[in-house]
Amino acid sequence: MQIIAVSSFKGGTAKTSTSLHIGSALVKFHKKKVLLIDFDAQANLTTGLGFDPDEQDSMAPVLQGEKHVEDVIMPTCLNNLDIVPADTWLERVEVTGALAADRYSHERLKEILNPLEYDYIFIDTPPSLCWLTESALIAASYSLVCVTPEFYSIKGLQRLALFMNNISERHALNVIGVCLSFWNKRGKSNNAFLEVIEQTFPGKLLQSKVRRDISVSEASIYGKPIFETAPQSRASQDYMALTKEILERM
């Protein structure tokens, strides 16, 4: 089983769409069994697959020892693609209940996930360097970094890299790659952005880039992956190529 934390240090980097569509592509085109964990209190991954976060349990009661992880896993519209939804309780879970007094609380998620039987688990982390993100990176064997060709997205890479390096000194963690979304090959500042990525994560930039496509937003309205709603779209093609490249790297 491979656990991948999908990370960024800024919102709007298509982190959630990347988690959803790589997981979906692995199930649909590579016959894998995948679990998606929405670890962001905004719950965009949850709503993107058609669930109401106010009606589902998240990983929060599992982390607190009140439920088993099997109790909060939900099937999605694709066979062999499951999800653990998110809710607003996640935002402050580390300062409440049993976790507040546990000095090793960051290790809890890893202990919970290890017994599960999936080919891949993707953890959609918050766009910040918080307790949830650190717990996800400790639980993961790989991290996938999401960025867009924009100044503030690229600027946050250095802080994210430092954060990951600190964790990798204590736990085995490899950056599988840096994924660029909202890509426009005619962008005037592309070379400058690509240079910063290469300096921060040498050799990690994935060649498969996801182009801007309104079909991705439309798919979330239906609560389904883009492969179900717009299989011929350019974003669908890009996510299939990205998934194949990530498999090759692993």
Burial class (CB in 10 A: 0-12, 13-18, 19+), 185: exposed
* 125 touches 40 (CB < 8 A): yes
Spans of all domains in the chain: 2-249
Residue with token string 């507040």: 100
For the 2-249 domain, the top CATH level (class) is: alpha beta
Question: What's the pLDDT tens digit per position in 54-73?
Answer: 888 999 999 999 999 999 99
User: Given a cut of 90, is residue 206 above it in pLDDT?
Assistant: yes
Question: What separation in angstroms does the CA of 196 have from each of 65, 88, 140, 146, 242?
Answer: 42, 34, 25, 14, 21
Q: Measure the CA–CA gap between 140 and 227, rounded to whole angstroms.
A: 26
Compute, in degrees rounded to 10, the torsion defined by CA atoms 199, 202, 204, 208.
Answer: 60
User: Given a cut of 80, is residue 148 above it in pLDDT?
Assistant: yes
- Confidence grade of residue 170 (pLDDT, cut at 50, 70, 90): confident
Q: Measure the CA–CA gap between 10 and 158, rounded to whole angstroms.
A: 12
The residues facing 146 across adjacent strands are 179
Average pLDDT over residues 67-95: 93
Compute, in degrees rounded to 10, the torsion defined by CA atoms 168, 169, 171, 174.
Answer: 30
Tokens of 246: 């990530």
22-36, 53-67, 88-102, 195-209: least confidently modelled range? 88-102
Q: Counting every residue, how long is the chain?
A: 250
Q: What is the CA radius of gyration of the chain?
A: 17
